[in-house]
């Protein structure tokens, strides 16, 4: 059976290599130090505080050295890490506490006003400030620690419970296993050619799978170096990418657009970077070209909390030729596109993406109904509508829940959004379906421009000449900005609430 204790291996092979560096404080752990801190945590949590394999440890904190050391301790012991979105309201956090029933809740002091007033806290056996975790790590670093000698978790044991928004209105806890962790890293390393000498900067939040599993955990698996940045700041990030000589960076489209528009963009060198990885939404062609002129190639990707998350990758050499594509599936990912009758569709036909492989969740925490719905036959139903062209490149058409039907025709908002982004001066677009007495539903587009004098009439005329009539939005509104969720993606639920 393969080892789950990656950091112990790198502490042996490359003990003095920097594993983690907090770019806000300058503090750092080598692989030897990270392993030493995690060994002490593993012993303290299991022997002194009597936590057992499968117990949940909920964390309400930003990324830091000790948070990652806790993750490494979970790899060793089989404890389950439950990262929580610190931007949620108290009632929302309380639901998660009651749902996962943690044996330990750790909160960063800046969030204590939320953590300490939770009604469900009374049922949590142990509640620690983050400083208590930091103190344990410090004690572990003060004296040499023996190797972890306890039982290893099984490959199908969860290492994370990652909560995602649910269609019922209640979050679902996706189980993320040690097996998924390994095979996601293998897929990522093969696709991105990660080496132990590589450096990245992670500014994705820890409550999102991207904050752990896009680059952080694959980099730890390869013995590489991760810089931790608590908050995304475009000017400072551009400086740090040069300062740290980063090789790869992952961000969402909003980040890349803000960096491109930053005053620091013109003077940033970025000569060490091989490419950027972009996920979440399609990146407008003008942004790709702006970064290309800077010498930075873009690799568009695609993934899910429940599968991967690193599933598809568009090679940087195809960024312009296959604009809008998420590329091909990674090495250990099986794909199918199915129509509403469950039949596989051919090239350039739209179908629901179904996924299978060792990177697939076994299901949702204490939610057999949602598990059975998502995994009726071993294939995970993503709810995403994709098409595959003749060369095997995949294109995201839309989420099934975003699709609307106008006059009997399926309309995919993402297709219209991508088209409107080709209009000069348009920086962001969101299209939703709204009720219509004649057609059932029609489109409404919300458009952000770069301060240029662009009229709604001009945009609608542009659509009318290039899109099928049923795809042309009936309504179009110019807005100063679009609402975003906590990971920088456009919040269409908020837009729906305005109509």
Backbone angles phi, psi at 84, to 5 degrees: -115, 140
Distance of alpha carbon 362 from alpha carbon 306, whole angstroms: 9
Per-residue pLDDT, 451: 73
Task: Give the global pTM.
Answer: 0.86
Neighbours of 468 (CB within 10 A): 11
- R_g of the chain, CA atoms, integer Å: 23
Per-residue pLDDT, 54: 98
Distance of alpha carbon 394 from alpha carbon 423, whole angstroms: 24
C-alpha angle with apex 70: 66 to 75, nearest 5 degrees? 145
Per-residue pLDDT, 24: 96
Give the residue range(s) of CATH 3.30.300.30 domains in the chain.
404-496
Pick the CATH number of 6-388 from 3.40.50.2020, 3.40.50.740, 3.40.50.12780, 3.10.20.440: 3.40.50.12780
- In the chain, which residues have pLDDT < 50? 167-168
Helix or strand run (H / E) with residue 188:
helix 178-192
Per-residue pLDDT, 387: 95
Per-residue pLDDT, 163: 94
Do strands 297-302 and 312-313 pair parallel, antiparallel, or not at all (unpaired)?
antiparallel
Per-residue pLDDT, 280: 67
pLDDT tens across 296-323, in order?
A: 999 999 999 999 999 999 988 888 788 8
Burial category of 236 from C-beta neighbours within 10 Å (exposed 0-12, middle 13-18, buried 19 and up): middle
**Residue 119 in tokens:** 């009604």
Distance of alpha carbon 209 from alpha carbon 195, whole angstroms: 22
Do 216 and 202 meet the contact criterion of CB atoms below 8 Å apart? yes
Do 246 and 215 meet the contact criterion of CB atoms below 8 Å apart? no
Distance of alpha carbon 197 from alpha carbon 272, whole angstroms: 12
Distance of alpha carbon 327 from alpha carbon 165, whole angstroms: 26
Per-residue pLDDT, 169: 54
Distance of alpha carbon 104 from alpha carbon 124, whole angstroms: 7
127: helix, strand or coil: strand
Does 404-496 carry CATH code 3.40.1010.20? no
Per-residue pLDDT, 1: 55
Do 79 and 73 meet the contact criterion of CB atoms below 8 Å apart? yes
Per-residue pLDDT, 167: 46
């Amino acid at each position: 059976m393969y080892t789950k204790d990656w950091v112990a291996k790198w502490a042996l092979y490359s003990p003095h290599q920097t594993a983690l560096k907090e770019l806000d404080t300058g503090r750092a752990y080598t692989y030897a130090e990270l392993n030493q801190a995690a060994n002490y945590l593993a012993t303290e949590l299991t022997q002194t505080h009597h936590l057992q394999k499968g117990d949940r440890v909920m964390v309400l904190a930003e990324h830091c050295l000790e948070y990652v050391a806790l993750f490494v301790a979970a790899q060793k012991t089989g404890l389950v890490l439950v990262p929580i979105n610190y931007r949620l309201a108290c009632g929302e956090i309380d639901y998660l506490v009651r749902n996962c029933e943690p044996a330990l809740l750790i909160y960063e002091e800046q969030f204590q006003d939320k953590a300490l007033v939770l009604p469900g806290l009374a049922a949590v056996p142990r509640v620690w400030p983050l400083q208590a975790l930091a103190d344990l790590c410090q004690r572990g670093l003060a004296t040499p620690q023996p190797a972890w000698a306890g039982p290893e978790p099984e490959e199908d044991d969860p290492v994370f419970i990652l909560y995602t928004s649910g269609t019922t209105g209640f979050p679902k806890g996706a189980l993320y296993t040690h097996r998924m962790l390994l095979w996601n890293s293998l897929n990522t390393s093969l696709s991105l050619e990660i080496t132990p000498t590589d450096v990245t900067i992670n500014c994705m939040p820890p409550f999102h799978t991207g904050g752990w599993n896009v680059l952080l955990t694959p980099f730890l698996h390869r013995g590489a170096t991760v810089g931790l940045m608590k908050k995304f700041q475009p000017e400072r990030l551009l400086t740090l990418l040069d300062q740290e000589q980063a090789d790869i960076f992952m961000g969402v489209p909003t980040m890349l657009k803000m960096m491109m528009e930053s005053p620091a963009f013109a003077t940033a060198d970025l000569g060490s970077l091989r490419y950027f990885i972009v996920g979440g939404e399609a990146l407008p062609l003008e942004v790709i070209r702006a970064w290309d002129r800077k010498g930075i190639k873009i690799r568009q990707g695609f993934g899910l909390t429940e599968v991967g998350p690193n599933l598809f990758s568009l090679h940087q050499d195809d960024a312009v030729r296959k604009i809008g594509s998420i590329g091909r599936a990674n090495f250990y990912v099986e794909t199918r596109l199915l129509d509403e009758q469950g039949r596989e569709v051919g090239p350039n036909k739209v179908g629901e993406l179904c996924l299978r492989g060792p990177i697939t969740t076994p299901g949702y925490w204490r939610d057999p109904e949602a598990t059975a719905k998502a995994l009726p036959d071993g294939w995970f139903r993503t709810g995403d509508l994709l098409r595959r062209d003749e060369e095997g490149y995949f294109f995201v058409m839309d989420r099934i829940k975003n699709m609307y039907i106008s006059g009997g025709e399926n309309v995919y908002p993402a297709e219209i959004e991508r088209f409107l982004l080709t209009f000069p001066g348009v920086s962001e677009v969101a299209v939703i379906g709204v009720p219509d007495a004649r057609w059932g539903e029609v489109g409404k587009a919300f458009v952000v421009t770069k301060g240029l004098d662009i009229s709604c009439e001009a945009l609608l005329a542009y659509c009318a000449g290039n899109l099928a009539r049923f795809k042309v939005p009936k309504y179009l509104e110019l807005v100063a900005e679009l609402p975003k969720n906590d990971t920088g993606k456009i919040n269409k639920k908020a837009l729906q609430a305005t109509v």
